[in-house]
Amino acid sequence: MTNEILNLGIAGRSLSLTCPQAPVNPNAVIRIQRLRHDGNFVEPGPFGCGQQSTSGYDYWPLVLYDAREGNFRDDQPTANTTMFLSGLMHYVELDVNNLRRWLSGSIGVSGPNALDQDGFVVYFSDRRGNRDGAGNETGELGFEDFVNPASLPGTPSGVLDIGEDVNGNGVLDVYGNVPQRIGAAPLDGTATLRTLVPATVAQVNPPVFFRRALKLVNGGLTRVPMPGFTLVSENPVYVQGDFNAYDPMGFIEPSSNASIIADAVTLLSSSWTDLRSLTSPHDPVGRPASTSWYRVAIISGKGRAFPRPTGALDDFGTDGGTHNFLRMLERWSGETLNYRGSMVTFFDNRQALGTYKCCANVYGAPTRAFGFETNFLDPARLPPATPVFHDMNILGFTYNQSPGM
């Protein structure tokens, strides 16, 4: 099955504005790289855009800049085009529509043999580059020195402050600030999560630190809906474009019984491009959103509360409240984020530790059209593998006397 999935392709299209936008591997279920978009192809292929290139030099990693993860405070000059390594999120892309096609047998041959329990559950974990000081995997970012109330810009202090001990071990973990891969400066052994790099460095290099994620694409209902679908990820998840809904038709039927369980979930509109996040890392105006629709239950973590540092905005130190539980990275002004689902939090974030902040660098608030998915009131419409809790109330006792007792 692994070879079958990989043989469907692993590359995404170039972000170039001049190259054709047809996908390089249109049937790919997962993508782990994209065609370079600077035009300097080693093997040009059709149209001079490298779409048939077999040269590794013609492919770059999948990466976006997350200003919430990258910036300690919402205080960077919007004209600044360099970005912190802590915000460069390297991701694997899951094409939801192609996954549906594979499960149905439209592409490949193994999909119809997958276990169907009123739908399908996809598990994802990417721990590449995740090591503590002893060389062990933890599944955590491993850098907790991010509150720092005594510093206006949030400069790491080396002191365990309230809100920083996300795993509750009583220790200020900072092993995640040690490069796991050494390259040329500025990505050499002196690099830290606070190292600033330009887009020309960010978009071509593999990750230096443990910043891994999953992105869901092509999940809108312009196509046949997925069967029941639950995505479970140890890493942060980004959802790009309409999901289990369709703009402009909205929350139409038929739809999937869908859920996402992840360390954190960020909703990206249909207008999102990774390139804009790299060229406008600190200015949401350069990342304009468009009205988008999402129909999915979400279970994810949240940040711990801490006392507001002097000079910080009033809500800094909170998790942003229910209306900010769904993370955003774009300027939504005048646009609507339509969400229907159910939001639950059971734990603290362990990888997406960026504190809630708004609204200079990270995002501009949308018109929020949030509602509960009433289909979930029917147990038959719950997403696959929905956590279930049983509560037993003891109402009384009856003495049973029978022969032999």
Whether 38 and 130 map to the same domain: the answer is no
Whether 91 and 149 map to the same domain: the answer is yes
Q: Can the peptide bond before residue 366 be classed as cis, meaning omega within 30 degrees of 0?
A: no
Whether 148 and 222 map to the same domain: the answer is yes
Q: Is 333 left (phi over 0), alpha (psi -120 to 50) or beta?
A: beta
Whether 38 and 174 map to the same domain: the answer is no
Q: What gap in Å lies between CA 116 and CA 294, rounded to an integer?
A: 24
- Domain assignment present for residue 394? The answer is no
pLDDT in the model for residue 225:
83
Domain of 76 in residue numbering reads as: 62-381
Polymer length of the chain: 405
Q: Count how many Cα atoms sit within 13 Å of the Cα of residue 198 in the half-sphere of its side chain.
A: 3
pLDDT tens profile 255-278: 999 999 999 999 999 999 999 999
The pair of three-digit structure tokens given for residue 7, joined into one six-digit string: 């043989």
- State the sign of the Cα–Cα–Cα–Cα dihedral 341, 345, 346, 347: positive
Q: Is the per-residue pLDDT at 377 higher than 60?
A: yes
Q: Is the per-residue pLDDT at 405 higher than 60?
A: no
- Domain assignment present for residue 388? The answer is no
pLDDT tens profile 312-371: 888 899 999 999 999 999 999 999 999 999 999 999 999 999 999 989 999 999 999 999
- Domain assignment present for residue 399? The answer is no
Q: What gap in Å lies between CA 136 and CA 249, rounded to an integer?
A: 48
pLDDT tens profile 149-159: 999 899 999 99
Average pLDDT over every residue of 97-111: 95
Whether 3 and 150 map to the same domain: the answer is no
Whether 116 and 208 map to the same domain: the answer is yes
pLDDT tens profile 199-216: 999 999 999 999 999 999
Whether 181 and 167 map to the same domain: the answer is yes
Cβ–Cβ contacts within 10 Å for residue 44, how many? 15
pLDDT in the model for residue 301:
96
Domain boundary among 41, 60, 79: 60
* Residue whose C-alpha is closest to residue 238's, from 211, 215, 219, 260: 215
Whether 242 and 370 map to the same domain: the answer is yes
For the chain, the domain total comes to 2
Whether 48 and 175 map to the same domain: the answer is no
Whether 9 and 112 map to the same domain: the answer is no
Domain boundary among 34, 60, 86: 60
Q: What gap in Å lies between CA 279 and CA 185, rounded to an integer?
A: 21
- Domain assignment present for residue 391? The answer is no
Average pLDDT over every residue of 218-243: 93
Whether 202 and 293 map to the same domain: the answer is yes
Domain boundary among 60, 89, 104: 60
Q: Is the per-residue pLDDT at 31 higher than 80?
A: yes
Whether 69 and 56 map to the same domain: the answer is no
- Domain assignment present for residue 389? The answer is no
Q: Is the per-residue pLDDT at 46 higher than 70?
A: no
Alpha helices in 215-364 (DSSP H): 274-279
Categorize the per-residue pLDDT at 391 as very low, low, confident or very high, splitting at 50, 70 and 90. Answer: confident
- Domain assignment present for residue 405? The answer is no
- Domain assignment present for residue 310? The answer is yes
- Domain assignment present for residue 8? The answer is yes
Q: What angle do CA 383, 389, 393 make, to 5 degrees?
A: 145
Residue 180: exposed, middle, or buried by beta-carbon count in 10 A (0-12, 13-18, 19+)?
A: middle
Categorize the per-residue pLDDT at 44 as very low, low, confident or very high, splitting at 50, 70 and 90. Answer: low
